Structure 1
Amino acid sequence: MSFSSDVKGELARLEIKKKEDMLAEISGFLRVSGSIRLNGSGKMSIVASTENPAIARHFKKLIRDYFGSSADLEIGESEAPGSGKHYSSGYRYSLKIGHEGKSDRILRETGILMIKEGDDYLSDGIYQPIISKKSAKKAYLRGLFLGCGTISDPKKSYHLEFVIKRDGLAQDLKKLIDSFVEMRANISKRKNQNIVYIKKADYISDMLGIMGADFAVMNFENIRLERKIKGEAMRLSNCDNANVDRLITAAERQLKDIELIDKYMGVDNLPLRLNEIANARLKNPSASLTEIGNSLAEPVGKSAVTKRFAKLKEIAEKLKESI
């Protein structure tokens, strides 16, 4: 099971008690997963499909609890490429609601079928009266995610998206997400689809919490923490390696300066402090500046050691010029 399917499984097991939340969640799901079929005599039926059996059961129950309508459940082979990857069955589950199952009422109450100047028309976007309350906003997002949302494995990347066909719905969804405190979504195009997406880890964690996936939030945050610890350990390791490389390079330069001075001038002819620091480096080729300073008869700090090596370098440079 993928992380995305785990999240959907958790959301599909939630018990929705408020009527307005039931309607909002049903509306969000039907908006992206439902289609309308004309059966003659002006009668319509609704077909809503999903690859996830838990989601199909969840909405069959919600529709029954809210509308008192029993949706027929049909199972067929999935049409989606690689559908068996996340669900072992590889089947497609379709909820079908006919005229006798109150399809007209469902379409109107969910804001999908509207009337203007006496004519019916299909709306494009979120029916705002459905999301007038904060809990209903959360429920609508949950319905949309169960219908068209995915989230990447946080062990690999941070990405949550909704795949939306209609431009109006994509814009409304972005506004809905942005209405929550410190949340922001973006929209991009992928072929003929709108992708409403979130890539910031904090926002994704908040979105999971908003939709009610509390267990997924804990799992997500644990993975984030593990990644952060591993990243910090890697950074420190790289930093340590870089420091060691710099230390070795600096020590090699100092040894070359001292060897040059000894060859053409003699280390013993250096002033006492420079003689002492030169001999300390010769005895401890890989020691740090701090360790060199502490090894002297009268220990000195890193700054003083640096100045003395700088003086040795200056002497070595003058010797090179005179050779």
Structure 2
Amino acid sequence: MSFSTLTKNELARVMDPRPCCKMAELVALIKMDGSLQVSRGQVSLNILNHNAAVARKLFKLLKELFGIHAEVLVKKKMRLRKNNVYWVRIPPQDGLREMLIRLGLLNSDGYLQEGLQQDLVSRNCCRRAYLRGAFLGGGSVNSPGGNYHMEIITSKGRHATDLCRLMQKFGLSAKISRRKTWFVIYLKDSEQIVECLNVIGAHSALLEFENTRIYKGMRNQVNRLVNCETANLNKTVDASLRQTESITLVARTVGIDKLPSGLREIAELRLKFPDATLKELGEMANPPLGKSGVNHRLRKLDQMAEKLRAGEPRL
């Protein structure tokens, strides 16, 4: 089961006790997935969803808030994964038109009303409920083990703008993009996704997201440290091999005993301890030397070897 499905199943079980929040969530679900049908002056409403738990929640909200009779139809998709599609159908009946007017979906004259009715989301609790309904209707969130991405898609540009503004009221820097005929409101920052999950009430999903994110961060940090240590070790080994070759050439051609005392000491230490770091070589010198002092003497030995390789007869 995907992380999105787990999150929606959790949110479908969240039932706010306040009627105003239930209204806001119901409006969001209808705006995301609903379609009105008018035939011979009679109005019916169909709401589509791919999640059984969300369909059950829709049915319960309609019954509790308005006492409306609804039917739940199940159809199987014939393409791709052939998952079930759930239709919550509200046939023509007394009270349906009044319900749609109260929800701000129709105006008093019976015409479709664009935009979000602001008194439905005048309080923070109702804004949270509306965003929860919008996510249940058209949202998804990637598993935190992969790329961080959360989105809500809608077919209406004005609704996308309304959703974006609601999210911004909670400090969420949501953005909108076009995907064919759809408008996509999305978040890509992990901290923002965590905050959004908190806003809509997906607390179990939030904890799982955080646990995975922390584990992923620690794993990446360990990998970076290992890579850094490996690079440093390779660098040290390569430098030690080059220095040993240079000292061997100088010893064979000139003789270590003919070198100045400082160079002779470092040359002997490097030949004796080829795996030692510059710091360790400096600590073994008498008197002890710093890394820069050891590096300076080894560079002089490298320069002497380069002159010998170039065929210069005298150093």
TM-score range relative to shorter protein:
over 0.9
Residue equivalent to 2:138: 148
Give SS of 1:274's match. Answer: helix
Change in CA separation of 1:101 and 1:290 when aligned onto 2, cut-off 3 Å: farther
Instruction: Choose which of 256, 273, 276 in structure 2 pairs with 1:287.
Output: 276
CA distance in 1, matches of 2:169, 2:269: 66
Q: Deviations over 1:218-240 (max 9, x none)?
A: 11000000100110011011101
> Which residue identity does 2:302 align to in structure 1?
K
- Matched pairs, number: 312
> 1:249 aligned to 2:238?
yes
Other-structure match for 2:16: 16
Residue by residue over 1:268-305, the C-alpha shift from the partner in whole angstroms, topping out at 9 and shown as x without a partner, is 11112211111111112222112222333443332221
Amino acid at match of 2:81: G
Aligned to 1:27: 27
Q: Which amino acid aligns with 1:67?
A: F
Structure 1 equivalent of residue 59 of structure 2: 60
Paired with 1:79 and 1:43, the residues of 2 have a C-alpha distance of: 31
2:225 equivalent to 1:236: yes
SS in 1 for 2:110: strand
Question: How big is the alpha-carbon RMSD for the aligned residues of Structure 1 and Structure 2?
Answer: 1.7
1:1-323 pair list within 5 angstroms:
1-40=1-40, 42-78=41-77, 81-83=80-82, 90-100=83-93, 102-115=95-108, 119-181=109-171, 183-321=172-310, 322-323=312-313
Q: Deviations over 1:255-279 (max 9, x none)?
A: 2221222132211111122111111
Q: Contact between 1:71 and 1:101, CA under 8 Å: does it hold in 2?
A: no
Give the AA of the match of 1:223: T
Unaligned 5+ segments in structure 1 are 84-89
Hey, what's the Cα distance between the residues in 2 that align with 1:120 and 1:100? 15
| Structure 1 counterpart of 2:107, one-letter code | M
Distance, in Å, in 1 between the alignment partners of 2:179 and 2:210 is 29
Q: Is the 8 A contact 1:164 1:170 kept in 2?
A: yes
Query: Partner letter of residue 213 of structure 1?
Result: A
Q: Which letter maps to 2:27? A: S
The separation in 1 between residues aligned to 2:227 and 2:8, in whole angstroms, is 39
Q: For residues 226 and 208 of structure 1, what CA distance do their matches in structure 2 show?
A: 19
CA distance in 1, matches of 2:206, 2:63: 29
Counterpart CA distance in 2 for 1:202 and 1:266 is 64
SS of aligned partner of 1:143 = helix
In the TM superposition, residue 81 of structure 1 has moved relative to its aligned partner by 3.4
Aligned mates of 1:101, 1:292 — CA distance in 2: 93
When normalised by structure 1's length, the TM-score is 0.91
SS at match of 2:93: helix
Partner of 1:87: none
Give deviations 1:77-117, integer Å, cap 9, x for gaps: 2366325xxxxxx32221112332632122212211124xx
1:259/1:74 CA distance change after superposition, 3 Å: same
**Structure 2: distance between partners of 1:124 and 1:300:** 79
Runs (4+) of structure 1 exceeding 6 A deviation are none
Quote how far apart the aligned CAs of 1:191 are: 1.1
Mapped partners of 2:78, 2:37: distance in 1: 19
Letter in 1 for 2:235: R
